[in-house]
Amino acid sequence: MGWPYQFVDLTDAQKHQRRTLLDTYGLIAQASAGVILLAIQLVFLVQWISQKRNERNGTDVPSSPHVKHSHKNQSGQRSIGYWWRRFSWWAGEPCTIFNNHLGTQGQVTAATLWTFWLLGLCFAETGKDYLHLTKRFGIVGASQLPFQYLLVWKSSWSPIQVLTRASHETLNAYHQLLGRVVTYLVILHAAFYLNFYVQNNLLASKLKEAYVLCGVVAVVAFVAIGTTALGPVRKWSYRVFYATHVALATALLPVLFFHVSHIRIYLYETFAVYVLNVTVRWVLSRELRGSIRSVPDTSLVEITIPMDSSKASRQLAEISVPGQHAYISLGRKSLLRVFRSNPFTVASLPGVDKTIKFVARVADGNTRRLLASAEGASADTKTQLTLEGPYGLNTHEDRLMQYDRVLFVAGGVGATFIVPLYRQLLADLSPSKGSYRRQKISCVWIARSKAEVTWAIPKDQREKDGFTERLKICHTGLGAAGSEAAFDQEDNGDVAVGETEDAIELEEQKQLLSGNDIAPTGRSDLPLHTGRPDLRRLVEQTFSHGSQEKIAIIVCGPNSLSQSLRREVTPWVKRGREVWFHDEGFSL
């Protein structure tokens, strides 16, 4: 062979030593992930200590002009906090290769470093032993399976979610990246073994052995999972991706169990994670009765579940917070529920509205089945539904209260995430309409038509007045796309509206700009404006109230919307402004 690794004959003692090294480096590979989680806890500790120190020293901007000028000069220095904010912003930028979104730059960088670390563990202390290297790829890859299955947990009970305080969407991105890394290691393991069999004329005989066939099936399963998880396949058929993912991820465990015995410790761990996940999902599933209707003049379906006196309803109202989502499917189909459920964002405040509401755009699959089940039924007809959840972070509400000014931007049905947070923050800041604290909030909703926002408008006039106080609805339908009209005469100028060269190209464009839309009306009891928002002016107005203000920008909609908004915010971050930019994207 023309490279350092060779086929070597080992004594029994040498084989035992090789086995010891294989097991040791497999454990090191798994323990390394624990070290990462510990490092994250240390970062949180440092941040907490820094926050407490700032609170003791007092960080409010002083009223004295002389002291304020000194404070401004100190804040303008490029401190550790400044560079950390710059790095965090860079890490949050999307990483796209050949039009394939891989995650954020930080996520891809972390995955790349992790790949090199695992490869280093694969090569360490293997000498010139070809089979040692081959086996090392397999055991290091297997050591990552428990974390791979942990990352897919949706519940807030997920240990990794608790330790990292990351959203399910963030962890899911790491799940995808780690899945690719594990697949590459498994492919290398199989390719090296294939070469060994071919070089030694063992291929025909080995393919007759059960453990080798199990290995072949496992490799095919890994490749199939990775292939169907690619963006084009998910967009072509989400059901194919999801069904393949769940079925093969389940089948992999027994197949690998019968492949070799040395990785079974990792399979036991993975199986325990799998069982706990299934158990938690079962515990968080409830049978409830609700109404399903089509929102008139739209392609939206609305599911409303009244909060009655039942135990399930009370529990759901107590644990539901703005920004969470749940999986909904038709009831009494438990065996197929995992393949026939969709995530729906909680679009109401159950404790206030006394109902839990979900709104989604109708597509082929579960949403169409849900809507079809209600066809021909009266408005009072209740349908048996299975609701699993809610899932997602429950900390958005508390974190928003830490910022001086908040900008919400919703695109289309992305308002199901934005509206409850907006309503809750208004109530948390002040119960009174027109209060000073409420002036710190702005909310922009880009919608196709007035009909698409009716589901969110409170019926009570007082609640409606409070809801629309800081809200601007940008109408982008027929007759509005080219309009330069910005505000009604009474508008206070908080939101810039109009068409720009960098106009947003929403993924919902077929609906938002279709020809069957209504023309914009001149006056309305809703803050309805024509044209898409001028994001640059909108961001400038948000940041123009004070250089010391901490800004939170929450966006939910197609990727093109969040990316356009992020580009406008980037210059302000580079100037040193403290910004929390949260993108709750809903694209596949």
| Rounded distance between C-alpha atoms, residue 370 and residue 373, angstroms | 5
Handedness of CA 472, 478, 482, 483 (dihedral sign): negative
280 vs 148, residue with greater confidence: 148
**pLDDT reading at 55 higher than 80:** no
pLDDT of residue 515: 34
| Rounded distance between C-alpha atoms, residue 192 and residue 197, angstroms | 9
| Rounded distance between C-alpha atoms, residue 201 and residue 196, angstroms | 8
> Phi/psi class of residue 464: alpha, beta or left (left: φ > 0; alpha: ψ in -120 to 50)?
alpha
Residue holding tokens 């509401």? 357
| Rounded distance between C-alpha atoms, residue 48 and residue 430, angstroms | 28
83 vs 586, residue with greater confidence: 83
Which CATH number among 3.40.50.80, 3.30.390.10, 2.40.50.100, 3.40.250.10 corresponds to the domain 396-583?
A: 3.40.50.80
183 vs 499, residue with greater confidence: 183
**pLDDT reading at 67 higher than 50:** no
- The per-residue pLDDT of the chain, averaged, comes to 82
Which stretch, 65-69, 289-293, 488-492, 502-506, has highest mean pLDDT? 289-293
Range(s) of the chain covered by CATH 3.40.50.80: 396-583
**pLDDT reading at 112 higher than 90:** yes
Mind listing the pLDDT tens digit for each residue in 388-422? 888 887 788 888 999 999 999 999 899 999 999 99
Read off the pLDDT band of 151 (50, 70, 90): very high
**Closest C-alpha among 436, 459, 544, 560 to residue 496:** 544
Answer whether 457's CB lies under 8 Å from 526's CB: yes
- Number of other residues whose CB lies within 10 A of the CB of residue 373: 16
pLDDT of residue 533: 87
Mind listing the pLDDT tens digit for each residue in 26-47? 999 999 999 999 999 998 898 8
Tokens encoding 310: 């039942």
| Rounded distance between C-alpha atoms, residue 263 and residue 208, angstroms | 22
SS (H, E, C) 379-410: CCCCEEEEEEEEECCCCHHHHHCCCCEEEEEE
Mind listing the pLDDT tens digit for each residue in 311-352? 777 777 777 888 888 888 887 655 555 555 677 888 988 888
| Rounded distance between C-alpha atoms, residue 314 and residue 351, angstroms | 9
Question: Coil, strand or helix: which one is 190?
Answer: helix
**Domain 285-391: assigned CATH number:** 2.40.30.10
Answer whether 412's CB lies under 8 Å from 347's CB: no
pLDDT of residue 141: 97
Number of H helices, E strands in the chain: 22, 14
Query: Per the confidence metrics, is the pTM higher than 0.85?
Result: no
**pLDDT reading at 504 higher than 70:** no
Mind listing the pLDDT tens digit for each residue in 217-258? 999 999 999 999 887 888 787 778 888 998 999 999 999 999
Range(s) of the chain covered by CATH 2.40.30.10: 285-391
C-alpha distance from residue 220 to each of 214, 226, 233, 264, 573 (Å)? 10, 10, 17, 20, 45
Mind listing the pLDDT tens digit for each residue in 552-570? 999 998 888 999 999 999 9
- Say which range, 177-191, 335-349, 568-582, has the weakest mean pLDDT: 335-349
